[in-house]
Each structure stands twice: as structure tokens, then as C-alpha cells.
A and B are shown apart, each in its own frame.
Chain A
Amino acid sequence: AQKITQTQPGMFVQEKEAVTLDCTYDTSDQSYGLFWYKQPSSGEMIFLIYQGSYDEQNATEGRYSLNFQKARKSANLVISASQLGDSAMYFCAMREGTGNQFYFGTGTSLTVIP
């Protein structure tokens, strides 16, 4: 089974609107971390936001928030007030317990329309 599933290969959003990028994960560990990365067309991988499995509050970083639903094993990224510069690939990732491996999803390509 896939550890990380991103079911939206491509998404479009109007500038200034909010958008949700879906991510579900699969683990039997009680302790794990969930991450979102942005990859713009220039190619670098930029860390956006982190959610720990024991964190009771949803993580927020500026316009990014993580909608963490533990029982559903989902960790959706919400981008508020989309900007043209948000157009990029977005990857969800997970690290289990004390493991050193990060598991990445297949990515979602987000296009912000002016």
C-alpha cells in the first residue's frame, strides 16, 4: 500500500481564492510527522509546513494551514488568498516514528489563474 496518496494530479484556483490540496497517509505508528513541500518551476524543494501526530492543533504558517484529521488519516494543505507565485508542484510527505525515511506522494500541480 502507498504510504502517501495525493489524488489530485492537477488543480486550478482563482487568484485570491483559497484552495485545498488533498493528502492521505497510511501508517500503523502512533508517532509520525507530516510535511508539505512546494516545488516551483525553478526546481527547488521548499519546506512549507509540519504537523506532528501528537499535535492537537492544526499547524499554520502564514497563508498555509494543515487540516489534520487523524481518524481519517488525512493531512490536507490549505492555501488561503492564493497568489500567482503559489503556482507550483506540492508534495505531501511522512516520516514514521524513529525511522529516517521520508515517504513522498506523487504531487499535485497547482495553477493559480489571474
Chain B
Amino acid sequence: DTAVSQTPKYLVTQMGNDKSIKCEQNLGHDTMYWYKQDSKKFLKIMFSYNNKELIINETVPNRFSPKSPDKAHLNLHINSLELGDSAVYFCASSQAALRGAKNIQYFGAGTRLSVL
């Protein structure tokens, strides 16, 4: 069983469309994340949820909206897609932060989004 699974793996769409990426983790973690990795491989945090509560909300266009129906799921919805949204989007999860604890972050396989 995949620990962090995200779908779809590839997403090709036209400018202006709306799309969603889904993420699920079966690790029992409290915290989930969305990252964007651009063509230069820079990993940029976008959002993080802890037990369905938004805790990290970096400066991203409000066309991006995360939704966490429960602590095992964190979906990303993108409205009015633009060329610059083309990137690889990673979902990740970790246990909630505890001082001194290992709290490894595990990643999904990534979703390669291409906006034409």
C-alpha cells in the first residue's frame, strides 16, 4: 500500500480550465502539505493542514484552494489555470511536530501539471 498517494500522476489541460489534485495518506499522520516544484527543481511550500486546520498558507494566488475533508486527505483545487502553473505538485505528510521527535515528512509521487 502506498503511504502517500496523489492522483492524477499527469495532468495536461488548457489555460483557463479548473482542475483538482487529490491526496490521501494512510500513515495516520496529523499534518499534510502541498508543495510546488518548478523546472529548476526549487521546492516551494504552498499550504499545510494539521487535523483539517490550515496552519501554513504561503503567498500563492487565490486561484489555489486546498481542502481537507479529514486528516487523511488534502486536495488542491486550481481555478483558471495559467501557463505559469505548469510544475510538479507534491503532497506530503508528517506527524504533528513534537519537540525532539523524528517527524519524517513522506511525499507522494507528484503530479506533473502541464498547462497549454
Whether A39 pairs with B109 at a CB distance below 8 angstroms is no
| Residue tally, chain A, CB below 8 Å to B | 26
Whether B98 pairs with A98 at a CB distance below 8 angstroms is yes
A9 CB to nearest chain B CB (Å): 10
A53 CB to nearest chain B CB (Å): 9
Q: Is A101 an interface residue (CB 8 A)?
A: yes
Whether A47 pairs with B106 at a CB distance below 8 angstroms is yes
Q: Residue of B at shortest CB range from A101?
A: B56
| Residue tally, chain B, CB below 8 Å to A | 28
Whether A45 pairs with B102 at a CB distance below 8 angstroms is no
Q: Is A100 an interface residue (CB 8 A)?
A: yes
Q: Hey, which chain A residues are within 8 Å of B45, CB to CB? A: 101-102
Q: Is B55 an interface residue (CB 8 A)?
A: yes
Contact of B48 among A52, A91, A100 (CB under 8 A): A100
Q: Hey, which chain A residues are within 8 Å of B43, CB to CB? A: 91, 104, 107
Q: Is B34 an interface residue (CB 8 A)?
A: no
Q: Hey, which chain A residues are within 8 Å of B109, CB to CB? A: 43-44
B20 CB to nearest chain A CB (Å): 20
Contact of A98 among B42, B97, B107, B110 (CB under 8 A): B97
Could you list 16 examples of A-B contacts with CB < 8 Å? A45-B90, A46-B107, A47-B104, A47-B107, A50-B102, A52-B100, A89-B41, A98-B98, A100-B50, A100-B96, A101-B45, A101-B48, A102-B45, A102-B94, A106-B41, A107-B41
| Residues of B bordering A, CB below 8 Å | 31, 33, 41-43, 45, 48, 50, 55-56, 88, 90, 92, 94, 96-100, 102-107, 109-110, 112
Closest 6 CB pairs of A and B: A45-B107, A98-B97, A104-B43, A44-B109, A31-B99, A43-B110
